[in-house]
Structure 1
Amino acid sequence: MNKDHKSTVVLITGGSSGIGKSIGTFLFNKGYTVYGTSRNPSKFTDFGPFELLPLDVTQKETIQSAVEEVEKRHGRLDILINNAGAGITGPIEETPEEEIFRNFNTNYFGVINVTKAVLPIMRKQGGGLVINITSIAGYMGLPYRGIYSASKAALEITTEAWRMELKQFNIEMTNVAPGDFATNIAAGRFHAPVIKGSPYEKAYGKSLALMDAHVDEGSDPQDMANAILKVLETKKPKVHYKVGAFMQKFSIVLKRVLPDKTYEKLLMNHYEL
């Protein structure tokens, strides 16, 4: 990307907390012109150091307004980081259909719609970079996180196809998949309740406690910010990047080399099922 970072304009969805805020702050301190987004920026009165624009990835009119605002101010938009996402846990049988739709609206369709709003600007200026924040969970079906895994896997595969379509316009697209990071995602995700007397009560209750512990003990979000900067400074980004603890990244390698049932047994042991 352009070495004069000040003229490089970055838009990060979901920039008010967690990974998005870490990335935005880091890039701002490196001299990039950064905008984050939030459904309700007025809630963050003392927010800094970069500006938050109102944007809800499930509302197309807010997407259009935010993207137009950035273009109006700078006449360009160089880097889009699709970071906004939502967690969801629960036995698939007991997860309400509307919550499944809501999760895909945020994690999958939201990313597609924000990207579609940005691409005409990038095409007009002769290039750009789109980074989709996916998840290591998107590489495997995790028990009681099946819907989340599916939404991130769908984004990984869509990115593989989309980046080939965009190369003719000098627009790069890549996936960056984090493992568990110490952020507030667990507080913000939809938990299907542990239902008393449910056939899943014991197993799901135990898995839920383990998931929350993994997030609390997760890596520093600064690791993601460092990884994103490396991608920005790479002329031709790879298709996939993974960021997280060694064992989380290694689990993807194991899935490739082990027989399916052996890998499944490993996962079930990990989640004490």
Structure 2
Amino acid sequence: MSKVVLVTGASSGIGNSIATFLQSKGYRVYGTSRNPKNSASFSFEMIALDVLKVATIQQAVAYIIKKEGNLDVLINNAGMGITGPIEDTPTDEMRKVFDTNLFGAIDVMKAVLPQMRKQKSGIIINITSIAGYMGLPFRGLYSASKGALELITEATSMEVKNLGIRVISVAPGDFATNIAAGRYHTPVFEKSAYKAPYQANLDLMDAHVQGGLDPIEMAKTVYQIMNTTNPKIHYKVGGFMEKFSIVLKRILPDTIYQKLLMNHYKL
């Protein structure tokens, strides 16, 4: 029997690439979005799930288990972007990104773990970000939310390993997706102390996404992890300099690393 896979946030971007690729490899894939539309245009079944509403998470998971009898893999991909200076960004928007990227992902894990414990097997793959390994200017909230999910991955991995369940993170760098369209952008306020550098960095972020890798690379990595007997806890998928920046942070004094980042972001 082919394995049953749940991919959150599968209507577009990385989630859609992963779900489509795994379906083509013979997995029984269920994708989710808050409001599934044009379901016939997807090669996999799309169901409703909003990570901010626990009831919809529980309903989606229960539906899959009732239909399939098991749930083998969770790809925790649903998330949102946010940009803005810390001082200028509304605190309510900060809470929303953590509710989506961190607590939403945790709630989906909590929903699938009872079934995986019952099966004594399962794989949870949390899609984080290379940005989660460093505090990036004007993306601090996004970095923090994804960095927190990296640590939750580590902690949960140890808690459930002896139950036959693996919890893994995959951190993408810049990919050519529509993520920029779904971000919350703090407005560039006319009287803001950060007006000029923030606007310049918004333009830089959009250019990075447009020149990013093909999301199929993420799909191939996820497929490889699912077929690895003893997978690592953390994977990074991105350009050489994106991955090398994590190495540099580990070996350089923090003031020197900060200077490199500030030069890169023209600050």
TM-score by length of 2: 0.99
* 1:146 equivalenced with 2:140 (yes/no): yes
Query: Which residues of 2 match residues 169-248 of structure 1 at below 5 A?
Result: 169-248=163-242
2:197 match: secondary structure: helix
Opposite residue 229 of structure 1, the aligned amino acid is Y
Q: Distance in 1 between matches of 2:41 and 2:108?
A: 23
Q: How far apart are residue 47 of structure 1 and its match?
A: 2.3
State the 4+ residue runs in structure 1 displaced beyond 4 angstroms.
none
Q: Distance in 2 between matches of 1:105 and 1:237?
A: 28
TM-score by length of 1: 0.97
Structure 2, gaps ≥5 residues long: none
Q: How many residues align?
A: 267
Q: Distance in 2 between matches of 1:198 and 1:17?
A: 34
Q: Match of 1:133? A: 127
Q: How far apart are residue 235 of structure 1 and its match?
A: 1.1
Q: How far apart are residue 45 of structure 1 and its match?
A: 4.3
* 1:114 equivalenced with 2:92 (yes/no): no
Q: How far apart are residue 231 of structure 1 and its match?
A: 0.3
**Counterpart pick for 1:87 among 46, 66, 81:** 81
Q: Distance in 1 between matches of 2:147 and 2:64?
A: 30
- Does the CA-based 8 Å contact 2:39-2:45 persist in structure 1? no
**Counterpart pick for 1:27 among 3, 12, 22:** 22
Q: How far apart are residue 236 of structure 1 and its match?
A: 1.6
Opposite residue 28 of structure 1, the aligned amino acid is Q
* 1:18 equivalenced with 2:26 (yes/no): no
* 1:104 equivalenced with 2:110 (yes/no): no
- Does the CA-based 8 Å contact 2:170-2:236 persist in structure 1? yes
Query: Which residues of 2 match residues 35-54 of structure 1 at below 5 A?
Result: 35-41=30-36, 43-54=37-48
Give CA deviations for 1:193-241 in whole Å, capped at 9, x if unaligned: 0011211100101111101110111100000001001100011210100
Q: How far apart are residue 46 of structure 1 and its match?
A: 4.0
- Please report the RMSD computed on the Cα atoms of aligned residues, expressed in angstroms: 0.8
Q: Distance in 2 between matches of 1:247 and 1:88?
A: 23
Q: Match of 2:55? A: 61
1:52 match: secondary structure: strand
